[in-house]
Amino acid sequence: MKLRLSIALLAIISLSVLSTSHGSSQTISSLDSSIQERNWGLSFGRYNTSRAGYAALPVQVINAPGGKRGPNEKFKIWVTKVINNSSKAITTVKFNWYLFDSNDLNRLVETGQTSSFQVHLNPQVETEVELLITNLEDIPILRDKNPTGIFHLEVAATEAQYEDGSVWLAKDLPGNLDLGSNSRP
C-alpha cells in the first residue's frame, strides 16, 4: 500500500514538473523572438563637469536619470534638476545629448537636440524639472546599426532664452574632457 502511494505521488510530482518546465520554456521561447539582441551597452548622466567650458554654461544639468516607467515603455533619459548660474531668469531651454565611445570619452559618436522647453529658472537657483531628453531606442546609430561597444551619453543645456528676450547659444560643445584629472562620468 505504501509502495503504491509512493509511486502515485512520484508520478504526480513528475507530471507537475514536466508540465511546468514545458510551459516555462514556451514562454521563454516566445519572449526571445520579441527581444532585440543588442551588441552595445550604455551609461548616461549629466554633461561631465571636467569638460572644457563646463563652468561657463549658464544652465547646468544636475540630474539626468533614465529608465522605463512600465514594461511596454521605451527607455527614456530625463533631466530632473538644473541650476541657472546666470544673473537673469530663463524662460526657455534646449538640451543636446552627446553619445561618446566609452573607450575614448572625447570621441563623439552621435548627438541630438531637443525641442525648446518652457521653464521658469530663477537666477542662481537649482530647480527641479521633468524634461524628456530622448528615448534610447530612438537614437539612430543604436537603433539602425546596433553597433558593438560601450557608449556613454551626456546631457547639456545648449540654448537658453532669458526673460528679457536675449538668447544664449552654446559654442564649441562638446568640450574636450581633461582625462588627466582622473575623472569618470
- Taking only the tens place, the pLDDT of each residue in 98-128 is 999 999 999 999 999 999 999 999 999 999 9
| CB-based contact 127:81 (threshold 8 Å) | yes
Instruction: Find, among 53, 132, 129, 48, the residue nearest to 90 by Cα.
Output: 129
Q: Indicate yes or no: pTM above 0.85.
A: no
In CATH, what number does 40-172 get? 2.60.40
Cis omega (within 30 of 0) for bond into 174:
yes
Confidence bin at 163 (pLDDT 50/70/90)? very high
Percent of the chain with pLDDT over 70: 77
Closest CA to 61 of 149, 148, 151, 154: 154
Whether the CB-CB separation of 61 and 48 falls below 8 Å is answered with no
At 118 the pLDDT is: 98
Q: How confident is the model at residue 36 (pLDDT cuts 50, 70, 90)?
A: low
Mean pLDDT of the chain: 83
More confident position, 137 or 100:
100
pLDDT digits (tens, 9 = 90+) for 166-183: 999 999 999 999 766 544
Residue in 124, 176, 171 with CA at minimum distance from that of residue 154: 176
Q: How far apart are CA 157 and CA 96, in angstroms?
A: 6
Domain ranges (residues) in the chain: 1-35, 40-172
